[in-house]
Amino acid sequence: MRASQADILIVPGYQGSGPDHWQSRWERRLSTARRVEQAEWSKPVRDDWTKAVADEVNASTRPVVLVAHSLGVATAILAVPMFRRHVAGAFLVAPPDVANPDIRPKHLMTFGPYPTDPLPFPSIVIASRDDPYSSYEKTEETAAGWGSLLVDAGNSGHLNRESGHGPWPEGLLTFGKFVSRLSPDPMPEWTVRS
C-alpha cells in the first residue's frame, strides 16, 4: 500500500506534539495525514481521548494507519474495541509503562494497564533502551503481547524532540517500509461489523 492510499492518523501523547516534533513534521509532509485533536492536551482523560481516536478512525474513508507516540500509543490501543472501520496498521513509538506507579504525572496511570491481546491489524513498536517512561524489557513484553514487530532504537531517549528526534528521517524510512507492506483491503478476520 502507498501512504497516499491511507488515512494516516497522527495520535500525539501527553501535552501534544509541538511544531518541531517528528509527528508534526510528518503531518505536514504526508498529504493524507491528519492529527487526532484532544480537548485537553495537559489533562488527558482516558474516555475522552480514546473516543476522539475512535471517532477519527470511524470517520475515515480510506484504510487507516495509526501513527502514535507515547501516551498516544495507550490511547490508540484502548480505542481499538470502538473501531468500526478498517485499520490497515499501527506505527507505535515509545509506549510508556502506564501501569508503573512511578510514572509522572500520576494520572497517566488511568490509561493502564495495557490490554495484552494480539492487535487485530499489523503493528510495529519502536522502542528505546533508555526511554525514561518505560524499560526496554517492559516494552518488549508489551509488543510481544500485541503481536507487534519490535524495532530496537538503541539509546534514543523518548524518541521526541527533546531527545533529538525532530525530523527523525530514520523513523520516516521505517514508516515507509512498514506502510508498503500493508494491505488496503481488510482481511476477513479483521472486518468489524457494525
Q: What are phi and psi of 34, to 5 degrees?
A: -145, 150
pLDDT tens-place string over residues 77-118: 999 999 999 999 999 999 999 999 998 888 899 999 999 999
pLDDT value at 125 more than 70: yes
pTM of the predicted protein model: 0.94
Domains and CATH numbers, the chain: 3-184 (3.40.50.1820)
Residue with cell 520516516: 172
Kindly report the average pLDDT of the chain as a whole number: 93
Task: Determine whether 145 is exposed, middle or buried from the number of CB atoms within 10 Å of its CB (0-12, 13-18, 19+).
Answer: middle
The mean per-residue pLDDT over the stretch 152-159 comes to 95
Q: How far is CA 141 from the centre of its chain?
A: 17
Please report the pLDDT score of residue 187 as a whole number. 60
Residues 90/147, Cβ–Cβ less than 8 Å: no
pLDDT tens-place string over residues 6-51: 999 999 999 999 999 999 999 999 999 999 999 999 999 999 999 9
Return the ∠ at Cα 189 (arms to 65 and 144), rounded to 5°: 65
pLDDT value at 146 more than 70: yes
Of residues 160 and 126, more confidence is placed in 126
